[in-house]
Amino acid sequence: MPYFDVIKKDSSSLARNGVIHTSHGDVNTPAFLPIGTKGTVKAVTSEELKFWGAEMILANTYHLWQRPGDALIYKAGGLHKFMNWKGPIFTDSGGFQVFSLAKMRKVMEAGVLFQFDLDGRQEILSPEKSVQIQANLGSDVALILDDFPGYPFEHERSVESIALTKRWAERAQKEFLNIMRHGDPINPGQKLWGIVQGASFPDLRKQSAKDMTGLGFEAFAIGGVAVGEPHEEMMKAVEAAIPFLPENSPKHLLGVGTPFNIVQAVARGCDTFDCVIPTREARHGRLYISAKNIPTPTTPSRFANHPSLTGGEAPHLSEITAESFPLARGSAAEGGEGVVEGYKTIDIRLEKYKEDFTTIDETCDCYLCLNHTKSYLRHLFAAGEPLSTRLASMHNLRFYLNLMKKIRTAIQYDYFDEMAANYRDYTGAAQSGVER
């Protein structure tokens, strides 16, 4: 069986539906990976994640290495058992947090010398060490250690970055094969993915993509984005890398992003995403809600009940008729009755929600939206109740996971271009997180 199957290609963009086959189950793409930084997606249980539609989660190697340590997790039987998440797990190399959180860091040929932020302990994160830790965690997807220069992007520094990333990739690959063949890995089905660097310089992204492909990786992450650059720079980086990676390989966009960024990156051929936005923003009272409206609701039920809008299971192709599947495209153009999708964010802590007894998001089926009002959630935030962040996190994660389901359905039934047109940058304050 191939590692990745492309199921359906969009006719108007590079978007596609696919399936990644891992040793802990399949991942339907495009997919969003909730971030379980320290072996937990903050405030949410594994069962809830599964229930809300998460298929793969991301765990941070740096944090787990620091505490409780990969040796302890190996003893526990690997991260899947330790945190009781039975689905696929994606781990990063640890490099991003070394660059963003460590007290001190020095990039050397051997690796990165740094000091942990918790206790000041000095360590060297080498390409081999990163692979060893991830093997002990037993994730399904492991990433090579990469070097990235950060923002603002400088060409000369980026030239060094892709060269060093290539040399580190060779060493990571060698160590990975050694562990898989001669070691005692927790997860013998683990795959090591390459990373494409090169900032937003097309020549460097192309070279880095060719380097990674030349090394024989089957899957790739695009790194060095979501570090404070404008949206256009991020998309430029994606556009420069994608054409030089094998079409039938899964591609992850690291640390991205807002719903707008995700939809735009899907259109450019990215398959999986991870970002702290849904959970981090939830803890600050910012909620992502559907901006869907039905201008003249003479036939609203057809739209309102469509599975792509409600998050339900999509009907089988054979069940689709013109009547059961009205496209937003035709209806909107013809009579102004179309569903206008997209999204917006609200700050639930604002005074204006104090006596607002309406539901947070009428189109959402999360526990919060089914059971509570804006007024109640605002009260929980005002009172500093822990339930506030828990309910808000569950809602935002459900929003993101539903978004991915809507994207997959839109690609499946050929209306992804209309959907994408409705997802603009409504969020303002929300940026792709640098604290992955």
Interface residues toward Zn ion, by CB under 5 A: 364, 366, 368-369, 395
Please state, in angstroms and rounded to a whole number, the distance separating the CA atoms of residues 196 and 270: 13
Instruction: Specify whether the CB–CB gap between 144 and 194 falls below 8 A.
Output: yes
Tokens of 262: 């995700």
Q: Residue 344's beta-bridge partner residues?
A: 289
| Minimum CB distance to Zn ion smaller for 20 or for 49 | 49
| Minimum CB distance to Zn ion smaller for 39 or for 342 | 342
Minimum Å gap between C-beta 22 and Zn ion is 28
DSSP string computed for 252-274: EETT---HHHHHHHHHTT--EEE
Q: Is the peptide bond before 152 cis (omega within 30 degrees of 0)?
A: yes
Active site residue 356: no
Minimum Å gap between C-beta 235 and Zn ion is 29
Instruction: List the Cα angle 174/177/178 in 5-degree steps.
Output: 85
Please state, in angstroms and rounded to a whole number, the distance separating the CA atoms of residues 323 and 302: 8
Minimum Å gap between C-beta 361 and Zn ion is 5
Q: Using the CB atoms, write b or e for 329-345: b if 16+ within 10 Å.
A: eebbeeeebbbebbbeb
Tell me phi and psi for residue 251, to 5 degrees.
Answer: -130, 125
Please state, in angstroms and rounded to a whole number, the distance separating the CA atoms of residues 134 and 70: 8
Minimum Å gap between C-beta 59 and Zn ion is 25
Instruction: Specify whether the CB–CB gap between 198 and 226 falls below 8 A.
Output: no
Active site residue 414: no
| Minimum CB distance to Zn ion smaller for 186 or for 392 | 392
Q: Using the CB atoms, write b or e for 214-224: b if 16+ within 10 Å.
A: eeebbbbbbbb
Tokens of 127: 């390409």
- For 121, other C-beta atoms within 10 Å of its C-beta total 11
Rounding to the nearest 10 degrees, give the CA dihedral for residues 17, 56, 254, 407.
30
| Minimum CB distance to Zn ion smaller for 54 or for 245 | 54
Minimum Å gap between C-beta 41 and Zn ion is 16
| Minimum CB distance to Zn ion smaller for 57 or for 369 | 369
Minimum Å gap between C-beta 365 and Zn ion is 7
| Minimum CB distance to Zn ion smaller for 236 or for 395 | 395
Please state, in angstroms and rounded to a whole number, the distance separating the CA atoms of residues 372 and 298: 29
Minimum Å gap between C-beta 394 and Zn ion is 7
Choice among 10, 140, 211, 274 that is catalytic = 274
Choice among 10, 70, 92, 140 that is catalytic = 92
| Minimum CB distance to Zn ion smaller for 14 or for 364 | 364
Which residues form the catalytic set? 92, 274
